[in-house]
Structure 1
Amino acid sequence: MCGRYASARKRHDLLEEFEVELDSAEELEPDYNVAPTKEVYAVLSRVPKVEGATRPVRQLRVLRWGLVPSWAKDPSIGSKMINARVETVADKPAFRRAFASRRCLLPADGYYEWMPTEQKRKQPYFIHRADGDVLAMAGLYEFWKDPEDDWLVTCTVITTTAEDELGHIHDRTPMLIQRDRWSQWLDPRFPDPKELLVPATGRGLVATPVSTAVNNVRNNGPELIEAVEAPLDL
C-alpha cells in the first residue's frame, strides 16, 4: 500500500511542471510526512464551469487524501479508502465511477514503505527518483455533499504489484504515470480507461533507508528523507 509520502514542492513549481492551465489551489506548506486525511495537491482535468467552456482544462487543486464515495453516509469512510488496487479499481463500487472519468495525478517527491527486519521491527525506506524528478502517482478523485450542501473533494492513490527491485521492501507500490501518458490519464473522455492501467515500473527509482522518526505523523521536515545507515539484519 501507499500510506505515507512526501510532497514538498512549491505550488508554482507544480504549475510549471504539470503545465497547469487553471490554478485553483491554495498554497500548502511543504509536507515530508503526508498521511491519510491530510490535504494534498492533485492535478486533474475538468471542463470549467464558465460560459462557453467545452473542453477539459488541466487544473491544480487541493484535495483531502482518503476517497469518500458520493453515496457514502458520512466522510469517515475516507480513512479506509486511501488506496485503490489496480486489479479491482475499474469494477469496485467505491471507485468505478471515479475511475471512468475522474482520474488525477498526485505529485510526490517520494513515498515511504516499511521493510520487516529479523528483530521484529520495521525499517522505513524513502523511495524516490534517482534524478530527483517528481513522481506522478495515479489517483482518483470524488465529490461528496454533506447535509449542509457543502462539497468535500477527496482522492485515493492507485497501487499495483511492486517489481523485484522494490518488491523486497513491500509487495505493493503506487502506480506511477510516465510523463508522456499524463494527458491520456487525465482525459475524462478517454474511451477505455482500462487501457491506461499499466504494470509497475521501478526504473529510475531508488530506496533510501531513513529514520524511524517518520513513523510518527507529528514529525515533519526534510530530515525525514535523509539517508541513515541500514540495519545489518535486513
Structure 2
Amino acid sequence: MCGRLAVTLPNDAMAQLFAAQPSNDLPDVPNFNVCPTTLVHTVRREDGRRQLAPMRWGFIPHWYESPAGGPLLINARAETIADKPAFKAACRARRCLIPASGFYEWTKDQEGGRDPWYLKARDGAPLAFAGIWQDWEMNGDRHRTCAIVTTAANTSISAIHHRMPVILSTENWPLWLGEQGKGAALLMQAAPEELLTFHRVDRAVNSNRATGADLIEPIST
C-alpha cells in the first residue's frame, strides 16, 4: 500500500512540470508528512486542459452516508480496480495524477516496532502516481476525493513491502489522463527496478503530527 507521502516541489514548479492550470487553494509545500484524509495535489483533465488542484486523500464512494461511512479507501488495487463497485466507474472516466517527491513504507523489527523507510526516484525527480477521483456530497457536505492505484511491488521494493504505487512515466501521463485514447489499463504495472532508491528514516514520522525535512533524512541502521 501507500499510506504517507512527501511533497516538496513548489506549487508553481509543479504546475509547470505537469503543464497544468493551478488552483488558488493548493496545499502548502513543502510537506514531508502528507497523511490520509488531508488534501493532496492532483492533476486531472477538465474542460479540455489539465488542472492542478487539491483533493481529499481517501476515496469516498457515493453510497457512503458520511466521509467515515465505511473503510478508508486511500489505495485502489490495480488487479481489481475495474471490477470493484467503489472504483470501476472512476477507473474508466475519472483518472488523475498524484504528484509526490517520495513516499514511506514500514517494516517491523523483532519486537514488533515499526521502522519507516523513505522511497524516492533515484535521480531525485518528482514522481507521478496513478490515481482515481470521486466527487461525494451528502446533506450539503461536499468533498472531491482520490485514491492512489497500487500494484504488486517489484523485486527491490518487495524487501520492504509487497505493494507499491503505480508510478507513471512522463510519456504515459496523457494516456492515463484520457488525452491519448484507450489503453490506460496497461499502465498499471510495477515501476522498473532501477527507478527507486530507499533508506531508513527516523521513527518520528510514525506520528502524523511530525513535520520537517529531517523526516526524510537517512539514519544509520
Q: TM-score, normalising length from structure 1? A: 0.88
8 Å contact from structure 1 (residues 111, 128) kept in 2: yes
Matched, 1:178 2:169: yes
Tell me the secondary structure at the aligned position of residue 114 of structure 1: strand
The 3 A distance-change label for structure 1 pair 168 and 190 is: same
Match for 1:133 among 125, 130, 134?
125
Match of 1:113 in 2: 105
Match of 1:2 in 2: 2
Letter in 1 for 2:77: R
The 3 A distance-change label for structure 1 pair 79 and 216 is: farther
Q: Distance in 2 between matches of 1:179 and 1:188?
A: 13
Q: Distance in 2 between matches of 1:89 and 1:183?
A: 20
Letter in 1 for 2:200: P
Matched ranges for 1:92-171 at <5 A = 92-148=84-140, 150-171=141-162
8 Å contact from structure 2 (residues 199, 218) kept in 1: yes
Q: Distance in 2 between matches of 1:92 and 1:33?
A: 29
Matched residue pairs, number?
A: 220
8 Å contact from structure 2 (residues 132, 149) kept in 1: yes
Tell me the secondary structure at the aligned position of residue 227 of structure 1: coil
Q: Distance in 1 between matches of 2:68 and 2:99?
A: 24
Letter in 2 for 1:18: F
Matched ranges for 1:50-129 at <5 A = 56-77=48-69, 80-129=72-121
The 3 A distance-change label for structure 1 pair 180 and 189 is: closer
Q: Distance in 2 between matches of 1:146 and 1:189?
A: 34
The 3 A distance-change label for structure 1 pair 25 and 190 is: farther
8 Å contact from structure 2 (residues 174, 180) kept in 1: no
Matched ranges for 1:12-51 at <5 A = 12-20=12-20, 22-29=21-28, 30-47=30-47
Alpha-carbon distance, 1:189 to partner: 7.8
Deviations 1:209-234 (A, max 9, x none): 1000000010011100001002xxxx
Alpha-carbon distance, 1:196 to partner: 3.3
8 Å contact from structure 1 (residues 103, 188) kept in 2: no
Q: Distance in 2 between matches of 1:189 and 1:153?
A: 24
Tell me the secondary structure at the aligned position of residue 177 of structure 1: coil
Alpha-carbon distance, 1:199 to partner: 3.4
Deviations 1:46-80 (A, max 9, x none): 22xxxxxxxx3111011000001123222114761
8 Å contact from structure 1 (residues 67, 78) kept in 2: no
8 Å contact from structure 2 (residues 94, 133) kept in 1: yes
Deviations 1:177-208 (A, max 9, x none): 11110000011784354233233433221011
Deviations 1:63-107 (A, max 9, x none): 000001123222114761001011101110000111101111100
CA RMSD of aligned residues (A): 1.7
Match of 1:207 in 2: 198
